[in-house]
Copies of this chain bind each other. A is one copy, B any other.
């Protein structure tokens, strides 16, 4: 069976950097945004649209009674969200079966729950996440104040928690779901990764 490492992460905690460096250190595949590209191909939806669907939890189905039978109000966006999640699950499983890899996000710990994965969660306190976002800002990113960044971080994590909980029935970031939870508040990821990589060597 391939060695699969999944990484869940709070926004701004350096989870992607951790995952990328870990994959490099182990010489195995790394999947992050590539999955969005694949979902887009599978569903014929644009990458931006897929991203948007993923970042917003779909509305639940509301049962309504018509005459004596039950029917469900299905809206178009809900079906699309379902299709995206199904495509995502298929792609994540395909990747896991292809070769050793690190997969960041995408509920991959849950999707691969029947595989022998090693599940890591990366988190940090809010101040250090704000600091990291400022340091890592790319030129094409909007300049936000610290206050705006705080709001953005909280909003994104709220969505991640809802999305994860909607599809998995688990609580996002609950340590019971992970093999290892790493607080990057006082950590230097570059130095930490070669240490953690030894778990897999």
Contact = CB atoms under 8 A, between A and B. Distances in A.
Interface string A178-201: 111111011100001001101100
6 contacts: A123-B175, A179-B185, A179-B187, A180-B181, A181-B181, A195-B196
Nearest to A197: B195
A125 interface: yes
Given A195-B198, A198-B195, A198-B198, A180 B180 contact: yes
Nearest to A180: B182
Question: How many copies, total?
Answer: 2
Interface residues of A, number: 20
Contacts of A187: 179
B175 A179 contact: no
A15 to B, nearest CB: 14
A173 interface: yes
A161 to B, nearest CB: 14
A1 interface: no
A83 to B, nearest CB: 34
